[in-house]
Amino acid sequence: MTNAPRIPDWLLILAFCAFFFLWRLSSFGLIGADEPRYAQVAREMVERHDWITPTLGGSAWLEKPPLYYWQAMIAYRLFGVSDWAARLPSVFDAAVLVFAVYWFLRWFRSKNLLDGALILSCSAGIVGYARAASMDMPLSAAFTIAMVAWYAWFENGSRLHLFLFYFFLALAMLAKGPVGPFLVAIVIVIFAAVRSEWKKVWRALWIPGILLFCVVALPWYILVQLRNPEFFRVFILEHNLARFGTNIFHHPQPFWYYLPVTLLGFTPATVFVIVALVWAVREFRGRDSDALNFFLVIWIAVIVVFFSISQSKLPGYVLPAIPPGILLLANYARRNPDDRPQFLLILLHSILSAGLICAAFVLPALLFQHRLEWSSADIIPLIVAVVLGLFIGAIFFKTGFNGLRVVTVFPAVLALAIALRLAAPALDETLSARPISEALSRVAPQNLPVAIVLVPRELEFGLQFYRNQITVPRYELGEAPAGEHLVVAREGFKNAFARDVPGRKIVYLGNFPAQRLEFFYVGR
């Protein structure tokens, strides 16, 4: 009797990355302010054939470095401009990140390598930002690969790994600026100080590697500064130092904000990561303890503490703390393969799994109604979620940590499939400018320019991208266009803009109830 053919690990990882990161990538349009804004910056750079100066609305946009823009520009040239193409850089970077974790575990921790890669691919933080047009995934991927490359060099002294460390450190610098190299340095210095490994740190200051970093990272910074003298003030002083030290960009959160955000980012493996963290801390015995555990714990702590101190907090900032948590879990499962899970652990993971699946079911109601109104029909998804949670708990009880891959990936697959099937239309209708642009094309097919009245800036950037319009004038800022145009106004605010166009014909075209908007035509 012959054994069934085994699916190669790389093919299995690729399939999971395709499902979690790529499947139905454009099932909802670009949302928030950042996604459409970054997508539009890349489009303008493509149209101007300019790889140096990012622009938005024809003016220099110097808030972020170019790595995401460069990747999006390549995607646009290959596949055309679309929201799908705008998200491809994050898809690619997330897949590279997962394969890098697999490579690291394969060469340095030979067991549970596939578990680590697959659990990382289904972690909520990774999945969420892999499907977003943002800077967070390029930074996290480059940062993580640099960190694991440095640790690989620490264990085996290979110059190839040190080469990779400096190369990806340079990409982290191009992804989001000096914060990447700065945090890498903090983690390494703390690790070396506690373990008295200063000689290793000095040996890591390898001249060819430093030259490689400079060759990859610095040319863009020099060229953009030469072309835009305000770059240093805007990027370094305002969008790095002022963003960290003040609330100038209005993203205040309490100090403890990143604790729940990080735990949510590990979902559905959160319970297991906490167990692995507790185990790693208890295992600390100076130089005799597993250096990798210590390195990973420092890595997580530095990321969480550093951004907790910051006065400006956004969820994506803490994304680089997710991969070390999963690596720590893989190392725990390798060292404790036969551990029988305690009842409390089984119960907590079952509740978490059921909650994840239930959240996917109720997300459409939350988006449309902003609250849950339970009816007899709503009880069925809740029962299904509870039953599935109990089923996952039973598998965990039966297999222990040998079944880690199944009990984490299974609820993630179900939750994502349900969410994209049921909630994607609600996300599109309530949070994206894409259906609004499509509705405008139906009521006014002549493709007139659009102006806005008292709508969120997220919608402004979204219309800018989906209408391919360099600027979207705001009536409240005295920017009423002179020619005929369309107006998207907050519901009930016709009078707020009618007085700005006296004597001109205004025709009501319809409304968009999901976002409480109204459409108008304004003549010459």
Residues 6+ apart with CB under 8 A from 9: 102, 113, 114, 117
- Tell me what pLDDT residue 1 has: 40
Length of the chain: 524
Average pLDDT of the segment spanning 266-272: 94
422 plus 444 within the same structural domain: no
Structure letter (DSSP) for residue 441: H
396 plus 508 within the same structural domain: no
The 10s digit of each residue's pLDDT in 358-395 is 888 888 777 666 566 666 666 777 888 889 989 998 98
Average pLDDT of the segment spanning 84-102: 97
Average pLDDT of the segment spanning 102-128: 88
Average pLDDT of the segment spanning 437-465: 92
275 plus 306 within the same structural domain: yes
497: nearest Cα among 437, 450, 436: 450
pLDDT above 90 (res 342): no
490 beta partners: 517
The model's confidence at residue 329, banded by pLDDT at 50, 70 and 90, is very high
Residue 1 belongs to a domain: no
314 plus 359 within the same structural domain: no
pLDDT above 60 (res 287): no
50 plus 123 within the same structural domain: yes
- Tell me what pLDDT residue 511 has: 92
Average pLDDT of the segment spanning 91-120: 90
39 plus 100 within the same structural domain: yes
- Tell me what pLDDT residue 373 has: 61
User: Considering the chain, what is the average pLDDT of its residues?
Assistant: 89
Q: Which two tokens stand for residue 286?
A: 């100076």
Q: Which of 335, 368, 391 is the last residue of a domain?
A: 335
pLDDT above 80 (res 192): yes
- Tell me what pLDDT residue 341 has: 74
**What is the 3-state composition of the chain as percent helix, strand, coil, each rounded to the nearest 5?**
70, 5, 25
Average pLDDT of the segment spanning 300-325: 92
pLDDT above 70 (res 248): no
Structural domain including 487 reads 434-522
Q: Which of 376, 404, 431 is the last residue of a domain?
A: 431
138 plus 204 within the same structural domain: yes
The 10s digit of each residue's pLDDT in 132-162 is 999 999 999 999 999 999 999 998 888 999 9
Alpha-carbon gap, residue 301 to 303, rounded angstroms: 6
Q: Which two tokens stand for residue 427?
A: 């996300």
Q: Is residue 169 within a helix (H) or strand (E), and if so which, with residue range?
A: helix 159-176
- Tell me what pLDDT residue 152 has: 94
- Tell me what pLDDT residue 404 has: 87
The 10s digit of each residue's pLDDT in 41-63 is 999 999 999 999 999 998 999 99
Q: Is residue 451 within a helix (H) or strand (E), and if so which, with residue range?
A: strand 450-453
The 10s digit of each residue's pLDDT in 416-449 is 999 999 889 989 999 999 999 999 999 887 789 9
Q: Which of 288, 314, 335 is the last residue of a domain?
A: 335
pLDDT above 60 (res 4): no
Q: What does the DSSP assignment read for 52-102?
A: S--EETTEE--SS-SHHHHHHHHHHHHH-SSHHHHHHHHHHHHHHHHHHHH
227 plus 108 within the same structural domain: yes
239 plus 365 within the same structural domain: no
Average pLDDT of the segment spanning 269-279: 93
